[in-house]
Amino acid sequence: MKGECLCGAVKFEIKEQIRNLYQCHCSLCRKTTGTTANAATLVRAAAFCWLMGESKISSYKKPTGFRNDFCSLCGSPVPNRLEGTGVVWIPAGLLDELVESRVAVHLHTKSAAPWELDSAECIRIDGGPDSVDTLNQLL
Ligand SMILES: [Zn+2]
Ligand SMILES: [Zn+2]
């Protein structure tokens, strides 16, 4: 299984089956991704390797220890070796091949953004809206 960031400068490969995915709804993951929840999986460090672009990775660490590694060219979150665990955190959106696993666990749902809660009720359209007016008229 291969994956890459938005610009393609950072590429990696996972040499084991992707197991269950999870989505974290905590406020840190919301800031990191700019969206409702951070979809990810965890793989063994021994099964993970960088193919290119490791030198393009920047890292931000909060005083609490929460760390976000990202491509310094395009800003995509990138895999992050979790210190002392032997495990690598993989942002699911970077995976480029067919992922047969599905999101199985939602974490930190108590901190979910209130605007997220009704997402199951949302209107779903195949593509993007033609304009802001079109989007607003859907409601
Ligand atoms: Zn990039
Ligand atoms: Zn989180």
Q: Which residues of 88-99 are buried (b: 16+ CB within 10 A; e: fewer)?
A: bbbbbebbeeee
Ligand nearest to the CA of 78: 1
pLDDT score of 134: 83
What average pLDDT score do residues 6-26 get?
Answer: 95
Distance CA(15)–CA(81), nearest Å, equals 15
In the reported structure, the alpha carbon of residue 92 is separated from the centroid of ligand 1 by a whole-number distance in angstroms of: 15
**Ligand 2 centre distance from Cα of residue 125 (Å):** 28
Task: Report how far ligand 2's centroid is from the alpha carbon of 33 (Å).
Answer: 10
Tokens 């690598």 belong to which residue? 88
Does the pLDDT of residue 19 top 70, yes or no?
yes
pLDDT of residue 119: 67
pLDDT digits (tens, 9 = 90+) for 37-70: 999 999 999 999 999 999 999 999 999 999 999 9
pLDDT digit string (tens) for 84-128?
Answer: 899 999 999 999 999 999 999 999 999 999 888 766 778 888 888
Give the ligand whose atoms come closest to the C-alpha of residue 54.
1
Residue 29 has pLDDT above 80, yes or no: yes
Output the CATH code of domain 2-114.
2.170.150.70
For the chain, the structural domain boundaries read: 2-114
Q: Please tell me the distance between residue 76's alpha carbon and the centre of ligand 1 in angstroms.
A: 6
What stretches of the chain adopt beta strand conformation (E)? Answer: 2-4, 11-14, 21-24, 38-44, 48-52, 57-61, 67-71, 80-82, 87-91, 103-107
Query: How much is the pTM?
Result: 0.88
Ligand nearest to the CA of 39: 2
CA of 130 relative to ligand 2 center, distance in Å: 33
